[in-house]
Amino acid sequence: MPLLDIKNLKIAFQVKKDTDGLFQMLGEQEVVHGIDLSLEKGQIIGLVGESGSGKSVSSLSILKLLPEDAKITADTMCFDGIDLLSQTEEEWQTLRGDRISMVFQEPMTSLNPVLTIEKQVEEGLLLHEEETYKDNKELRRERVLEVLAEAGLSHPEELLLKYPHQLSGGMRQRVMIAIAMMNRPELLIADEPTTALDAATQEIILELLKYYCETYKTAILFISHDLSLVARLCDRVLVLKNGKVVERGTKEEIFYRPQQEYTRQLMAAAKGKQLAGESIINAGQVGAEESNDTPDTKPNNTAIPLLQLKNATIEYREKTFFGKEKVTTAVKNVSFELYKGEVLGLVGESGSGKSTISKALTGLLPLTKGELIRAEGTEAPRMVFQDPYGSLNPAKKIGWILEEPLKIQGGYTKEERKRLVRAALKEVELEEAHAKRYVRELSGGQRQRVAIAAALIQKPEIVILDEPVSALDVTVQGQILELLYRLKEEHGMSYLFVSHDMNVIRRVCDRVIVLYQGEIAETGTTADVFERPEHPYTKELLRNNMDVHEQKEKSI
């Protein structure tokens, strides 16, 4: 008999349609439409899908941690022979944290911010082994230190009196895992446990999970959007889409013989080679190869740069209460040019100054030193922001948002504006009806399309793309990148592409500038930088991005 046996799991939520009036419309919306899942002792099963696929909801339903209004039905939902659907609240309390535990995605918010680590870790003991531990503080502490050490925390005694915010992300997640493993559960549900962590830490957490599985024969249900992670950890994989299992099988089956298009897309995203985006990569690389004739960084010596940043230094000044000034230098002595028709990548981690530069280029931030030269007749660049929801006015309809730049610019009749708006919508592959919607009524990809339309409606020569796809699901990323490439080609624009993601940069850029702590670490054509990195920081960046993927492939 499997440890966990679920057949035909359906989950529905109550939806309130707010009429802003004297009554509400209540209805039900099913988000999980009949999932089968079974898990043996000591087995690791992966649940993969993008946001909205129902993977988290399904996993939470196993512990009945969903909100009150969720309606869970299943033909069978058994854990070790116990019918989970008929458990009383008291029975649940003995089950949770003792026999079934859970690790969540965001350790910062999942830990109580105002309780010490010790308090939070020892709670499991007090709840499930009260007789042994209640009046024995020493024993309790001993056990807490033991689990913390087991979770790979090197000096657990130092952590006891600390609070979650004082730990690093990786440490927090280890604490979470220690809490979950406190009572050696038979089943551990890990809901995107590594998503909020950097690549190196991800690795360690995966190892840790493997360790527990092997040592204690703990069955693990691993939930992730990242197929490569799942592939490396799990024995079996279930691919979820829109609340349904679209494909299931061993990891080999899923990786080498994916049956579904959707699985293939996920695979591609995981490998960093987006199928739909390949045309861009090629185009970029072609451009890069052409420019290889001129080893210095300019693709075309004779061309006049559209935009030129010379020896720019940008400082932030902050006044403290006592009148002293605190100066933070965000950008130091940075120079570069942007030429017509090229895609220039600006890459670096957060805090490297890339956002500061993009703000300065648009004129939103003054340069402390240095100068910014625009070619004659060139207007200030337009910008596409990372989060389309924040960059589009939430209180206005799409039509208004697209019309606004034209109104500001002036010189258009109402009819002309409407016509231009319709054209812009068409260009970004949206429908005219979208003009009458609000931003919140659109999907993430549609929003970013609107943002692009808004940036392009005035036909700018330069567009700054500030992490334009980071907030999007992988399948959507490709579509947006493709759209951007097509528009660039059609309108002959130049892009400054700001991103932290080396994969995306590699796919779209002609040239790359690597920023490190506000300074240019390295600059060159995409091919040069990626194949012959010189600066140690660039190498590290590449390793962090690439290594993961290489390892992923190795581990399959």
Partner 1 sequence: MKKKLNHNLIIGYFLIALVMLMAVVGLFYTPYPVNEMNVLLKNQPPSFAHLFGTDQFGRDIFSRVMEGASTSFFIALCVVLVGAGIGTLTGAITAYFGGWLDAVLMRVNDVLAAFPSVLLAICFVAVIGPGTYNLIVALGIVFIPSFTRVVRSEVLVQKELDYVRNAKLMGAKNLRILVFHILPNIKPVLKTSLLVGFQNAVLSEAGMSYLGLGVTQPDPSLGRMLSEAQGFLWNAPWYALAPGLTILALTLGLGLVTSDKE
Partner 2 sequence: MKFILKRIGTLIITLVIISFLSFLAFSFIPGDAAVANLGMDADEAAVEALREELGLNRPVVVQYGDWLLSALQGDFGESTQYHLPVSELVAKRLPATVTLALYSMVLICVISFPLGMLGTNKPGGAVDTAMTVLSQIGMAVPQFFLGILLTFFFGIVLNWFTVGGYVSPQEDMAGFLSFLILPAVAVAVPKCATMTRYIRNAVVAQKKMDYVRTARGKGNSEKRILLNHVLINVMMPVVTMLAMMAADVLAGSIVVEQVFNIPGLGRLLITSISNRDYPVVQAIVVYIASTVVIMNTIADILYQKLDPRVR
Return residues touching partner 2 (CB under 8 A).
Answer: 60, 63, 65, 68, 89-90, 92-98, 101-102, 104, 106, 109-115, 123-124, 127-128, 163, 165-166, 176, 179-180, 321
Nearer to partner 2, 147 or 314 (CB): 147
Assess 454 for contact with partner 1 (CB under 8 A). yes
Residue span binding partner 1 (CB under 8 A) among the ranges 50-58, 234-242, 377-385, 419-427: 377-385
Q: What is the DSSP letter of 164?
A: G
Least Å from the CB of residue 457 to partner 1: 9
Nearer to partner 2, 14 or 282 (CB): 14
User: Whose CA is closest to 188, among 215, 170, 164, 167?
Assistant: 215
Least Å from the CB of residue 230 to partner 2: 22
Query: Would residue 320 be called left, alpha or beta, if left means φ above 0 and alpha means ψ between -120 and 50 degrees?
Result: beta
Least Å from the CB of residue 471 to partner 1: 12
| Type of residue at 58 | S
Least Å from the CB of residue 468 to partner 1: 12
379 phi/psi in degrees, rounded to 5: -85, 165
State the SS3 of 392-407: CCCCCEHHHHHHHHHH
Least Å from the CB of residue 96 to partner 2: 4
For the segment 317-376, give every residue that binds partner 1 (CB under 8 A): 359, 362-364
115 binds, among partner 1, partner 2, none (CB under 5 to 8 A by kind): partner 2
Least Å from the CB of residue 362 to partner 1: 5
25 binds, among partner 2, partner 1, none (CB under 5 to 8 A by kind): partner 1
Nearer to partner 1, 405 or 444 (CB): 405
From the list 82, 304, 380, 423, which residue makes contact with partner 1 (rule: CB under 8 A)?
A: 380
364 binds, among partner 1, partner 2, none (CB under 5 to 8 A by kind): partner 1
21 binds, among partner 2, partner 1, none (CB under 5 to 8 A by kind): partner 1
CA–CA distance, 325 with 151 (Å, rounded to integer): 44
94 binds, among partner 1, partner 2, none (CB under 5 to 8 A by kind): partner 2
Least Å from the CB of residue 74 to partner 2: 20
State the SS3 of 55-105: HHHHHHHHCCCCCCCEEEECCEEEECCEEHHHCCHHHHHHHECCCEEEECC
Four-CA torsion 317, 320, 323, 329, nearest 10 degrees: -20
433 binds, among partner 2, partner 1, none (CB under 5 to 8 A by kind): none
DSSP 317-350: EEE-TTS-EEEEEEEEEEEEEE-TT-EEEEE--T
Burial of residue 7 (number of CB atoms within 10 Å: 0-12, 13-18, 19+)? middle
CA–CA distance, 448 with 457 (Å, rounded to integer): 14
390 binds, among partner 1, partner 2, none (CB under 5 to 8 A by kind): partner 1
Nearer to partner 2, 162 or 500 (CB): 162
For the segment 178-197, give every residue that binds partner 1 (CB under 8 A): none
Contact of 286 with 525, CB cutoff 8 Å? no
Four-CA torsion 513, 518, 519, 525, nearest 10 degrees: 0
For the segment 25-44, give every residue that binds partner 1 (CB under 8 A): 25-27
Helices (H), 160-310: 169-181, 199-216, 227-233, 251-256, 261-271, 278-291
Nearer to partner 2, 176 or 314 (CB): 176
CA–CA distance, 122 with 135 (Å, rounded to integer): 12
DSSP 409-459: H----HHHHHHHHHHHHHHTT--GGGGGSBGGGS-HHHHHHHHHHHHHTT-
| Strands 343-347 vs 511-516: parallel, antiparallel or unpaired | parallel
For the segment 389-448, give every residue that binds partner 1 (CB under 8 A): 390-396, 404-405, 408-409
From the list 76, 335, 458, 517, which residue makes contact with partner 1 (rule: CB under 8 A)?
A: 458
Question: For the sheet containing 343-347, what is the strand order?
Answer: 382-384, 462-466, 494-499, 343-347, 511-516, 519-525
Nearer to partner 2, 166 or 215 (CB): 166
Residue span binding partner 1 (CB under 8 A) among the ranges 20-28, 76-84, 105-113, 530-538: 20-28
Least Å from the CB of residue 382 to partner 1: 6
Please state, in angstroms and as integers, the Cα–Cα distance from residue 227 to each residue in 57, 173, 439, 527, following that order.
18, 20, 30, 27
383 binds, among partner 2, partner 1, none (CB under 5 to 8 A by kind): partner 1
Tell me the three state secondary structure of residue 251: helix
CA–CA distance, 292 with 180 (Å, rounded to integer): 54
Least Å from the CB of residue 64 to partner 2: 9
From the list 1, 23, 325, 415, which residue makes contact with partner 1 (rule: CB under 8 A)?
A: 23
Tell me the three state secondary structure of residue 460: coil
Least Å from the CB of residue 364 to partner 1: 6
Nearer to partner 1, 297 or 458 (CB): 458
Triad 539, 541, 542: Cα angle to 5°? 65
Least Å from the CB of residue 258 to partner 1: 37
Least Å from the CB of residue 373 to partner 1: 18
Q: What is the DSSP letter of 47?
A: E
Least Å from the CB of residue 177 to partner 2: 12
Number of chain positions touching partner 1 (CB under 8 A): 32
Q: Which tokens in the block code for residue 109? A: 């918010």
Nearer to partner 2, 111 or 223 (CB): 111
Residue ranges binding partner 1 (CB under 8 A): 17, 21-27, 359, 362-364, 380-383, 385-387, 390-396, 404-405, 408-409, 454, 458
